[in-house]
Structure 1
Amino acid sequence: MHAQNQSLLDALNACIASCEHCASACLQEPNVQMMARCIQLDRDCADICALTARLLARGSEHAQHLLRECAEVCKACGDECEKHAAHIEHCRECAEACRRCEEACRQAVSVTA
């Protein structure tokens, strides 16, 4: 596998893990209703990153189509998590992972465009 793809896969997998952790931890927060949007975006982000990673790993021609969407979902999730980052550590960590993944996806799109 090409080193660039491996670094993209690493960013995708780190984002998946961080989003899954954040969603689970948000469910333990005292005001779960306040975290509803964060949980929803965490789940969406983990899902799109997982699908993108699977298609990329198998060399699917369709992986490139998902990179733009994956970057957009990572951005939305990162933006939401940042709203809580000052007082909730798992949201801060998730926002950082989302930003790294968003950037990796955008770079991969620009390389192949």
Structure 2
Amino acid sequence: MSITKRIGVLGLMAAALVVAGRYTTAEDKKPAPPVEAKAQPASAGDTKMTHFMDCAKECDDCARTCNGCAAHCTKMVAEGKKDHLETVRLCADCATICASASAVVSKFGPCSDLICAACADACKRCGDACEKHAAHDEIMKKCHDECVKCEKACREMLKHTAKAER
């Protein structure tokens, strides 16, 4: 197809989109109803779903906090505080594991038990390492606190996975 024909086809497509946009109904412009932050469980299956989603949220929150702490510790290592090198590595690994756990658990994955066990263990290690510096460093205190919450959520989640039900 020649360049002229391609431009003509693209022009027709653009015009069609503009026309389609002008002829929307009032119904199309109504805002979507607000979505509840947390649905209340109606059955045992919904209760299980709530546990999965709560765990996924904690894992996601922890991943973001650990990534921030890893960046913070990297800066401290660059300033000569070599005692933070291991914490950089732990926080980076923990963030990766937590993000993976959030992804698997949020879709009720069959490997939720595996990733939650790994996530809980990673959070324990990372939280313990950050706790050593928490008294004098607010970022590391926050990382420790998030790791503790995530570890707890993952250990609770393990009670609701398919493997636990066997």
TM-score range, shorter chain: over 0.9
TM-score by length of 1: 0.93
Query: 70-79 vs 58-67, which deviates more?
Result: 58-67
Identity %: 32
Higher alpha-carbon Rg: 2
Q: How many residues matched? A: 113
Q: Equivalent of 1:100, from 130, 149, 155?
A: 149
Secondary structure in 2 matching 1:31: coil
Structure 2: state its 5+ residue gaps: 1-45
Structure 1: state its 5+ residue gaps: none
- Backbone CA RMSD of aligned residues: 1.4
CA distance in 2, matches of 1:32, 1:64: 37
1:28 matched to 2:107? The reply is no
Higher RCO (Cα < 8 Å, 6 or more apart): 1
For 1:1-113, list aligned pairs within 5 A.
2-29=49-76, 30-112=79-161, 113=164
CA distance in 1, matches of 2:146, 2:137: 15
Q: Which has the higher helix share?
A: 1
CA distance in 2, matches of 1:108, 1:100: 12
Q: Find runs of 4+ consecutive structure 1 residues off by over 6 angstroms.
A: none
TM-score by length of 2: 0.64
